[in-house]
Amino acid sequence: MLLLEKSEEDFYREPNAKIIFRADAAYIPAVEARAKEFESPYYKVNKTRSTLMEFQNRNASKVYALAQFCQLNGFGLKNVIAFDDTTNDNEMLKAVAAGVCMINGLDDTKAMAYILLSNW
């Protein structure tokens, strides 16, 4: 289905899927820099691999989903250990008791993780 919206605000009023932009790794830094020129209250942009940029609704996050799961099951985020490896996971890893990043994760995610897992 193709949706045509009159404004950015209209587009982000309803839930929508994220957009993943894939390009040669040599072009991604330029895409990342250009995307920063258009920061928006409606979406966020993350480089998730050397060849991928993700544009997603600011209201869609793993932290929100995880917090809802915790609430439904009677415990809080500070009772959770989360594992992941890319920039779009940093918010979730910071919100839990222990954020774990794999050794092959992105540098910013490894830097903020509580635990870094090496290959077994």
pLDDT in tens, 2-37: 556 677 777 767 666 678 888 999 999 999 899 889
What was the pLDDT predicted at 56? 84
Rounded-to-integer distance, Cα 65 and Cα 105, Å:
22
- Judged against a pLDDT cut of 60, whether residue 74 lies above it is answered with yes
Question: 3-class DSSP state for residue 14?
Answer: coil
- Judged against a pLDDT cut of 90, whether residue 118 lies above it is answered with no
Which residues share a beta bridge with 101? Answer: 84, 116
* Alpha helices for 5-114 (secondary structure H): 8-11, 28-36, 62-72, 90-95, 107-112
What was the pLDDT predicted at 98? 95
- Judged against a pLDDT cut of 90, whether residue 100 lies above it is answered with yes
- Of the pLDDT bands very low, low, confident and very high (cuts 50, 70, 90), residue 77 is very high
Contact 31, 49 (CB under 8 A): no
* Residue reference for tokens 């250990």: 81
